[in-house]
Structure 1
Amino acid sequence: MKTLTNRLCTGLFLLLALLLTASCSDWKDIESVDIAPKPAKEQNPELWARYMESLRIYKQERPHYITYGSFDNGVEQSKNEGAYLRSLPDSLDMVVLANSENITDYDREDIPLLQEKSTKVLYRVDYASQTATLSDAGKLGAFLDKAIATADNLNLNGFVFTGSPLYSGTEAELAARKEAARLIVAKLSAAASGNKLLILEGDPAFVETADIEKLDYIVLNTVDINNITTLKLLVAGLLDNKALPKDKLLLAAKINNQMTDETNVKQDAVTIMTDRVASLGPLGGLAIYSVGDDYYQTKMHYAITRTAIQSMNPSN
């Protein structure tokens, strides 16, 4: 009797082992599962189209304070999403590629995404940092031609150029600086005809009075100002120049910089500048440098930039 029982137990044990082996084999089979998230555009095309239209109306038809972002592009492999153009706030009016001479494949992919949201993407011609090497008119002309060709190839929405006037030097040096400014404005304004933009980053005195009307905006040299009194004096002095329309002037601040306010308290520079766009002018708006640096915050993504936009345009 024990032998029969033992045989039955052995048989049941083997059968159970076979079942378990088959089950384990089934568990090890690899099945593909589609977990790729769909972009918002694909999830609800109709809602996406309505959102794109609302952005277009806000940026192109509604009067509002302009928000200009300077983005440090050119990063091939990023440590986080904040280094890509696609991660910028949708409500930015325009973005200048700070490293326009180093356009990556990632930049090329993201530029049309911004433009779909009616964000203008601009090429930066950094004459100020290359003045010594571009002192010859021929070299400067070739430099500008290359920039124009690149911007045209990328279907960009205009140009930003840097420059500062020469307040001392020989007559020849002063004349050469003025001629360089005239050449820059002449070439870039011709390339920016139609609905493209032309913007100066720097001292308005770099450009001759007759050429001011060719500029859409002027981003003032306020990034390195660290107290509100200096800012007020600078803006007041500029506004005395009746050739500078207030609505063309943009205050500038950099992410993570600080300024001292009227009560001698240090605050975030972007926040202070945002509050002064209306009170010191009203001016045309705000330029935010290193706009990608505030992507990861303890409060929320790109909190500083979005707050600045909403503070200047609360009804929009």
Structure 2
Amino acid sequence: MKKIFKHTLPALIACPMMLAACSEWTEPESITLRYPSIEEQNPELYAQYLESLNNFKTSEHSIVIVSMNNLSTAPANQSQHLTTLPDSVDYICLNNIFDVNEMHITEMDEARKKGTKVLGLINFDAIESAWQAILEKEAEDASNTETSEKENELESENETPDEDPAIVNARRFIEYCKKETARQLDAINALGTDGIVINFTGFDLNSLLQDEEKTVAETARQGAFFNLLTEWKAAHAGKEIVFKGSPQNVIGKEILVESKYIIVNAHSAKNLYEMSYLVLMASAKGVPTDRFIIGVTTPYLSNMGDQYGMVNGRSAIVAAAEWTLQEVPDYIKAGISVDGVEQDYFNPTKIYPNVREAINILSPTAK
């Protein structure tokens, strides 16, 4: 035992000295393992795959559109990358068009190599919500001051104090809507997307029947939005338009004719029958019925606690694919649209499990 101790003691003493010396030589560095991609391993085979994929997307098949709530910052995980989406996705819509990070701009080109088109969201509903917030803030300020900011603006514009505030606000909204729509289109042009998704809900036009004054007012209100889009389309003939929302509530149906697809928002549908009902409601006079896409979402809870994105206790994405395959005589089902697609990424066994299952249902040969 003494002999062993005699030989080990110097070694024990030397260890701290060696460690101290090593720490002076170099700083420890993490090792990054890099695995070659399929493209690098077999470029010829990958080129054949891309050719086959592009041929598939130009063929007649059920369309898959996904929208992503893209962050302005660089992707923090794989769910935020465009390149991790299933290759068979036809369109990717970026909901945030004002501040797209450089990584996504680069990945837009990578997606295009696979025949995937990247669109940007033009959102009337967001414009309308922002305007309502402005009016609420003005009302709050007016209640706390003797003379509101709005009244000062009216005086500066030589408008009479007795003018109906509703008429004034309607006129103000038209100018605000034009400005915000132009701002969105400028962002689209700078981003260089392959087209746009127009999000418009509106309200039931039946409420305007036999009320000419309201009809004229709503026509002007919608015109502030859609007229600029029509002009944009005329100036960008190679770009695509996809309508999303409630097409039956659009007064000027020409923009729907210009749209390649019409997404009917079915976030609230609890079964396949409700999906069919929503599409039938959308099939108003003047609405093209040969290009309907059923719009669903990944699961989420509304502010009121209502559950969306589930149909009969399962993913609405998969249910939408099954609904699409059920042929009907009244209209054509062109495919599905999935909102919040990044939320479908996380799964311990397979990424984007519901989107992939839906693709397999719609196009069993697709990958």
Aligned ranges for residues 1-316 of structure 1 at < 5 Å? 35-60=33-58, 62-74=59-71, 76=73, 78=75, 80-131=77-128, 133=131, 136-166=173-203, 167=205, 168=207, 170-194=214-238, 196-205=239-248, 206=250, 208-239=252-283, 241=285, 243-246=287-290, 248-256=291-299, 257-260=309-312, 266-281=313-328, 282-316=332-366
Return closer, same or farther for 1:179/1:274 CA change in 2, 3 Å cut-off. Answer: same
Structure 2 SS opposite 1:272: helix
**Structure 1 residue runs without a partner (length 5+):** 1-8, 261-265
Structure 1 CA distance, aligned partners of 2:87 and 2:72?
Answer: 21
- Quick one: which amino acid aligns to residue 318 of structure 2? T
Closer, same or farther: CA 99–49 of 1 in aligned 2, 3 Å: same
AA of the residue aligned to 1:252 = G
Shift, 1:254, TM fit: 0.8
Q: Does the residue aligned with 2:65 lie in a helix, a strand or coil? A: strand
Q: Distance in 1 between matches of 2:247 and 2:224?
A: 14
* Amino acid paired to 1:67: V
Q: TM-score, normalised by structure 2?
A: 0.70
The residue matched to 1:131 in structure 2 has which SS? helix
The answer to whether the 8 Å contact 1:148/1:191 transfers is no
For the 8 Å contact 1:159–1:192, the answer to whether it is kept is: no
**Aligned in 2, Cα 1:207/1:112: closer, same or farther, shift over 3 Å?**
farther
Describe the shift of the 1:112–1:67 C-alpha distance in structure 2 as closer, same or farther (beyond 3 A): same
TM-score, normalised to structure 1's length? 0.80
Q: Distance in 1 between matches of 2:181 and 2:223?
A: 14
**Shift in Å, 1:232:** 2.3
Residues in 2 aligned to 1:172 and 1:213: alpha-carbon distance in whole angstroms: 22
Conserved? CA contact 1:250–1:284, under 8 Å: yes
Q: Secondary structure at the match of 1:253?
A: strand
Give the Cα–Cα distance (whole angstroms) in 1 for the partners of residues 60 and 81 of structure 2. Answer: 29
Shift of 1:145: 3.3
Q: Which amino acid aligns with 1:284?
A: A
Partner residue in 2 for 1:4: none
How many Å separate the matches in 2 of 1:130 and 1:56? 36
CA deviation string 1:121-160 (max 9, x = no partner): 1010111121263964444333333333332332210011
- Tell me the secondary structure at the aligned position of residue 70 of structure 1: strand
1:56 and 1:118 in contact (8 A); partners too: yes
Q: Number of matched residues?
A: 300
| Cα displacement string for residues 15-73 of structure 1 (whole angstroms, at most 9, x for unaligned residues) | x97xx98xx7999987987732333333332222222212211112x110000001110
Letter in 2 for 1:268: S
- How far, CA to CA, are the matches of 2:55 and 2:353 in structure 1? 24
Q: Percent identity?
A: 21
Residue-by-residue CA offset, 1:69-96 (whole Å, 9 max, x unaligned): 0111015255531122222111100010
Q: Identify if the C-alpha distance between structure 1 residues 164 and 296 changes in structure 2 by more than 3 Å, giving closer, same or farther.
A: closer
Aligned pair in 2 of structure 1 residues 275, 242: CA closer, same or farther (>3 Å)? farther
| Cα distance in 1 between the residues matched to 2:268 and 2:334 | 20
